[in-house]
Amino acid sequence: MLRLAAPALLGLSMTYWSQSTEPEVYTLAVFLSSLSIYLLSRFIAAQKLSLLLLSLCVYSLSFGNHLTTLMSMPAFFLALALSPTRRRAVVAVILVLPLLVLFGLGQYVYIYYLSHQGGPYLEYVGRDASVSRIVDYVLGGQFKGLIGSTYLSPRLFAGSVVQVLRITLQDFGLPLTLLLGYTLIANLGSLISALRQGRCQLVNDRSRQDGVTSQQIRWLLVVAASGHILYAISYPIHDVRVYYLVPYALLLPVAMSAVEEALTSGFFANPRQGRLLVVVGLVATLSAQLYLGYKSLKLFDNPIDLKAREIVSVLPEGASVFIDGSTDYSLSRALWYHATVGQPSKRLDVKLAVDAPASHYFTISDDKAELIEQSSGREVQRIKLKPNGCAWALYNCGCPR
């Protein structure tokens, strides 16, 4: 039950649901990052080099998915430092390092190849990209001036920290409160039991070595998550909330293990009673998270979903849809979804409207709508997206002017 609780809490969070519309990026980033750290924790427990090398292979593969995986690197140095066979482990890592680099960076060579083969959907790279363009893409050149900017201003830094805490409370506020309550109750019971017996014993009967290993694994997870938290604070764009998923995935097992240890320690004379409380408490926690996620989706996603259905129903086959950059990003995803799975399905070209030279989102004014109409040589219809009239969706209906 406890082993399933951490991924269940993550999977039932609003952040995970909202980002799963792009599973090839965000949910895969969580899987690869979590799997590499899990294998690393198994290496700490078993001290098998095969587990360390397998963890490094998964870690290097994750570089081709999302470079935020770099923030987990301190955890690998910690694992090597904690290993009693660190010299042998370091030698093994050095020997396989060229292969790991090939795994990680070789995926971007494939993107370069696709760019020169006319491959579709090469965001930011484009066709016939130069080597310098690929390097700029790998290093996040499209986000220059954003990453790390909050650390240059105390005001921006404070605002970013508040934003991180706000999103965490929004997604996990009630479940984390329940977990904290369970832990406090259990530790209070353990303290009362210890005082009655005249001794202080707040841990269970596991061996000392097992306890040391568990503490090392917890520190490993905390160190890995800390890097991602620092990155989330450093990046001031919070509409893309993937940066909160990996810390959640790494810290939730820490919370689960602490709760398990607290609840199954000296609170009950019969260990079965402690395990029963664990099950009941976690069922209540997961149910609360499921309710919060359902409530959030019902509040925010339904209007977007209904609007997307309405727009798709009136669009002709092959229409080009330009969505105002100030509009909620999820609307474009909803349009793609309903155009693909709707009955009948429609082939639509859905884009966020941007200024090409600067790549900044703009609001589609009447003047710009007229320019689009003139440049396309076809009539442009407008669909109102917001009641204040500031945002519009434009589509080329395919009719000659």
DSSP letters spanning 211-236: HHHHHHHHHHHHHHHHHHHHHHHH--
User: Helix or strand or coil: residue 381?
Assistant: strand
Q: Which pLDDT tens digit goes with each residue over 301-312? A: 566 677 777 777
77 has a pLDDT exceeding 90 = yes
Q: What is the pLDDT of the chain when averaged over all its residues?
A: 70
248 has a pLDDT exceeding 80 = no
Rounded Cα gap, residues 71 and 230, in angstroms: 9
Q: Which pLDDT score, from 0 to 100, does residue 205 have?
A: 45
Tokens describing residue 295: 């409530």
Q: Which pLDDT tens digit goes with each residue over 329-370? A: 566 667 777 777 766 677 776 665 544 333 333 445 666 666
Q: Which pLDDT score, from 0 to 100, does residue 79 have?
A: 92
Mean pLDDT, residues 96-112 taken together: 85
Mean pLDDT, residues 308-325 taken together: 72
279-260-229-55 Cα dihedral, nearest 10 degrees: -100
Q: Which pLDDT score, from 0 to 100, does residue 31 have?
A: 80
Mean pLDDT, residues 97-105 taken together: 86
Quick one: what percent of the chain has pLDDT higher than 90?
7
Give 104's pLDDT tier (boundaries 50, 70, 90): confident
- Of 16 and 47, the one with more pLDDT: 47
Upper half-sphere CA count for residue 42 (Cβ side, 13 Å): 15
Quick one: what percent of the chain has pLDDT higher than 70?
50
Q: Which pLDDT score, from 0 to 100, does residue 91 have?
A: 93
3-state secondary structure 76-101: HHHHHHHCCCHHHHHHHHHHHHHHHH
Q: Which pLDDT score, from 0 to 100, does residue 274 have?
A: 62
Q: How many CB atoms lie within 10 A of CB 318?
A: 13
- Of 40 and 396, the one with more pLDDT: 40
Q: Which pLDDT tens digit goes with each residue over 22-64? A: 555 677 777 888 888 889 988 998 889 999 999 999 998 888 7
pTM higher than 0.75 for the full model?
no
If residue 205 lies in a helix (H) or strand (E), which one and from where to where? none
- Beta-carbon contacts of residue 338 (< 8 Å; ≥ 6 apart): 305, 308, 309, 312
Q: Which pLDDT score, from 0 to 100, does residue 88 have?
A: 92
Give 398's pLDDT tier (boundaries 50, 70, 90): very low
